[in-house]
C-alpha cells in the first residue's frame, strides 16, 4: 500500500502591515535627531544618525540615563557632540520638565510632543526602547507637531497663577466643609445667608457660637447692614440647633485654615503682579516713548501694559488678565491665527466627519486653565450692558441652544479672540461695540437703505413704497 503523499499547503500571503520599514521610506527632514521616552527616574534615549557608508542604513544608538540634572547634563553634552539638530520627548506627567529645561539650557532645540501623536503603531511591542526609537524616527521625518511650551519667564508666572488657583479652590473647600459642620449641628444659617464665604455677619455669628453663645436672638442680633431685616429668619435658623464642642472645634479649625489661605492668596497675587511687571514684553509705553515697568499707565499712553490691555475686556479682571498671560504667553506668533489659539485652548469643536455623516463634534481637551479663565470671564460678562453681555443673553436664551453653559463657551471663545488681537498688536485697545450692536445691525430701515444703495449702483432709480397690509 502506497502511503499518501503529504498535502501541499497553499502558501499564505501575509497581510501587509505598516511597519518601521514603511516609515523609513518617507523623506527625511532632519539628519541627526534624538527621541526620549521619559519615566519618573530614568529616560530612554535614541540617537538617530546618518549611515556610516553610502549603502548602509541609518544608525540608531539607544541607551538609558537617570533623570537627575547631572545625568541629564551628560546626555546633553553627548547630543551636542553628535551634532543633534532636534530632540523630541513625550509630555509624560511632569517628569518631562527637568529634561526639557536642562536640554534647552544646554543649547539644544527641544520639542515637547503630545503622547497621542507619538503613540507607537498598534500591534508592535511596547517597550521603552521601541518607544524611544519610534519617537526618533518620527522626529527625523518631521511628523511630530510640537506642543506649546512658553519661555522661562512665562513658565515662572504660571507657577504663581496655578498655585493661586489651587489655593483658592482649597479655600472654597474649607467653606464647604464649614457648611457641613453647621448642617451636622442642625444650624440652618446657610439657608438664610446665600453665600457664607465673605459674609461678615455670618463670620461673626460662627465665631460667637465657637465662643459659647447659643441664644438664637443674641446670635441674630449680630447681623449687620443688609442682614438686619433677616433677623427673624435667623432666629428660626438658630432655634433647635445642637452646636456641641466637636462642632465648635471643627468650625474653629476651618476658620483658621481660611485665614491662613487668605494671607497666602494675597501674597501670591502680589507676587504674580510683581513678576508681570518684571517682564519687558509686558511693559507699556508712555506718550513720549518711554518704556518700563510703570510706563503706559497714563491717560495718553501710547501702549498700555499687557495686563491692563486685557483688563479692559468685559468680564476680565486684573488677576484673570495676569493668569491668561501666564497660560498663553505674550508672543502671538506662536499662534498664527485667532482660531489656532481658540483650538489650543479647547474652545473649538473637533471635526467629526466620515463620508456623508457629519457629527456635531465636541470641543477638544486643550489647555484647561485658559479655557476655565475664558468661560469664567464669559459668565462674569453675562447680564452686563455690553456687547458680550448681550451676546451671552442671546445665546443662553436660544431654544435648544444649550443654555448658560454653551453660552459661556461661545462667549469665552469671543473673549479669547479679542485677547489674541490685543496681544498681537500692543497698540490696539479694546472698544466695546455696545449692547445695541445686534439691534443696530438688524434694523429694518438700515437694511432697506443698504438694498437701495446696491440697486442704485448699476444706475437704477429705486422708489420704495410700503405695503398697505404691512404691520
Burial of 100 (0-12, 13-18, 19+ CB in 10 A): buried
Question: Any alpha helices (H) in 152-286, and if so which ranges?
Answer: 152-184, 189-192, 200-211, 216-220, 231-238, 245-277
* Residue the block writes with cell 464647604: 176
Per-residue pLDDT, 15:
42
Evaluate whether 223 touches 231 at the Cβ level (below 8 Å): yes
CA 155, 414, 339 angle in degrees (round to 5)?
65
List, in sequence order, every residue forming a beta bridge with 358; answer none if it has no partner.
353
Per-residue pLDDT, 254:
96
What DSSP string describes 268-302?
HHHHHHHHHHT-GGG-EE-TTS-EETTTT-STT-S
Per-residue pLDDT, 296:
85
Q: Are strands 284-285 and 59-66 parallel, antiparallel or unpaired?
A: unpaired
The grid cell for 271 is 507676587
Tens of each residue's pLDDT in the chain, 471 residues:
445 555 555 554 444 444 444 444 457 788 899 999 988 999 999 999 988 776 778 888 999 999 999 999 999 999 999 999 999 998 888 889 999 999 999 999 999 988 777 776 666 778 888 888 889 989 988 888 888 889 999 999 999 999 999 999 999 999 999 999 999 999 999 999 988 888 899 999 999 999 999 999 999 999 998 899 999 999 999 999 999 999 999 999 999 999 999 999 999 999 999 999 999 999 999 888 888 888 888 888 889 999 999 999 999 999 999 999 999 999 999 999 999 999 999 888 776 666 676 666 566 678 889 999 999 999 999 989 999 999 999 888 887 767 888 899 999 999 999 999 999 999 999 999 988 888 777 777 777 888 888 888 888 888 888 777 655
Per-residue pLDDT, 13:
46
* Residue the block writes with cell 507699556: 284
Per-residue pLDDT, 4:
52
Per-residue pLDDT, 239:
93
Per-residue pLDDT, 323:
95
Burial of 371 (0-12, 13-18, 19+ CB in 10 A): buried
- Residues 70/76/80/82 CA torsion (nearest 10 deg): 110
The pTM is what? 0.80
Crossing angle of helices 245-277 and 200-211, in 10° steps, is 140
Q: What is the DSSP letter of 429?
A: -
List, in sequence order, every residue forming a beta bridge with 86; answer none if it has no partner.
33
Per-residue pLDDT, 353:
65
Amino acid at each position: 500500500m502506497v502511503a499518501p503523499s503529504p498535502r501541499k499547503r497553499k502558501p499564505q500571503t501575509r497581510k501587509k502591515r505598516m511597519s518601521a520599514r514603511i516609515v523609513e521610506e518617507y523623506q527625511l527632514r532632519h539628519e541627526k535627531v534624538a527621541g526620549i521616552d521619559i519615566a519618573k527616574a530614568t529616560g530612554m534615549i535614541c540617537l538617530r544618525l546618518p549611515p556610516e557608508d553610502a549603502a548602509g542604513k541609518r544608525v540608531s544608538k539607544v541607551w538609558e540615563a537617570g533623570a537627575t540634572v547631572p545625568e541629564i547634563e551628560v546626555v546633553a553634552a553627548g547630543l551636542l557632540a553628535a551634532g543633534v539638530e532636534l530632540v523630541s520627548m513625550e509630555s509624560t506627567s511632569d517628569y518631562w520638565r527637568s529634561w526639557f529645561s536642562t536640554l534647552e539650557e544646554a543649547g539644544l532645540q527641544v520639542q515637547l510632543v503630545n503622547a497621542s501623536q507619538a503613540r507607537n503603531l498598534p500591534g508592535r511591542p511596547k517597550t521603552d526602547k521601541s518607544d524611544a526609537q519610534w519617537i526618533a524616527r518620527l522626529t527625523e521625518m518631521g511628523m511630530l507637531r510640537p506642543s506649546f511650551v512658553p519661555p522661562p519667564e512665562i513658565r515662572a508666572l504660571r507657577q504663581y497663577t496655578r498655585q493661586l488657583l489651587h489655593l483658592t479652590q482649597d479655600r472654597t473647600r474649607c467653606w464647604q466643609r464649614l457648611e457641613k459642620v453647621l448642617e451636622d449641628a442642625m444650624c440652618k444659617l446657610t439657608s438664610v445667608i446665600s453665600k457664607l464665604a465673605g459674609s461678615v455677619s455670618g463670620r461673626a455669628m460662627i465665631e460667637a457660637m465657637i465662643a459659647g453663645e447659643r441664644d438664637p436672638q443674641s446670635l441674630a442680633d449680630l447681623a449687620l447692614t443688609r442682614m438686619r431685616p433677616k433677623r427673624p429668619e435667623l432666629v428660626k435658623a438658630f432655634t433647635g440647633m445642637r452646636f456641641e464642642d466637636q462642632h465648635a472645634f471643627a468650625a474653629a479649625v476651618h476658620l483658621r485654615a481660611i485665614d491662613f489661605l487668605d494671607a497666602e492668596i494675597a501674597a501670591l497675587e502680589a507676587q504674580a503682579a510683581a513678576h508681570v511687571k518684571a517682564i519687558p514684553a509686558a511693559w507699556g509705553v508712555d506718550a513720549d516713548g518711554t518704556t518700563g515697568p510703570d510706563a503706559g499707565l497714563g491717560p495718553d499712553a501710547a501702549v498700555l501694559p499687557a495686563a491692563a490691555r486685557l483688563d479692559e475686556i468685559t468680564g476680565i479682571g486684573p488677576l484673570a488678565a495676569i493668569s491668561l498671560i501666564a497660560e498663553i504667553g505674550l508672543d502671538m506668533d506662536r499662534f498664527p491665527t485667532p482660531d489656532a489659539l481658540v483650538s489650543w485652548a479647547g474652545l473649538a469643536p473637533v471635526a467629526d466627519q466620515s463620508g456623508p455623516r457629519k457629527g456635531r463634534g465636541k470641543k477638544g481637551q486643550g489647555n484647561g486653565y485658559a479655557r476655565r479663565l475664558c468661560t469664567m470671564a464669559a459668565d462674569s460678562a453675562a447680564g452686563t450692558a455690553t456687547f458680550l453681555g448681550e451676546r451671552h443673553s442671546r445665546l443662553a436664551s436660544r431654544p435648544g441652544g444649550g443654555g448658560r453653559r454653551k453660552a459661556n463657551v461661545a462667549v469665552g471663545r469671543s473673549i479669547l479672540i479679542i485677547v489674541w488681537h490685543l496681544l498681537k498688536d500692543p497698540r490696539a485697545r479694546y472698544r466695546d461695540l455696545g449692547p445695541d450692536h445686534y439691534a443696530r445691525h438688524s434694523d429694518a430701515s438700515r437694511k432697506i437703505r443698504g438694498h437701495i444703495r446696491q440697486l442704485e449702483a448699476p444706475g437704477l432709480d429705486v422708489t420704495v413704497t410700503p405695503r398697505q397690509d404691512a404691520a
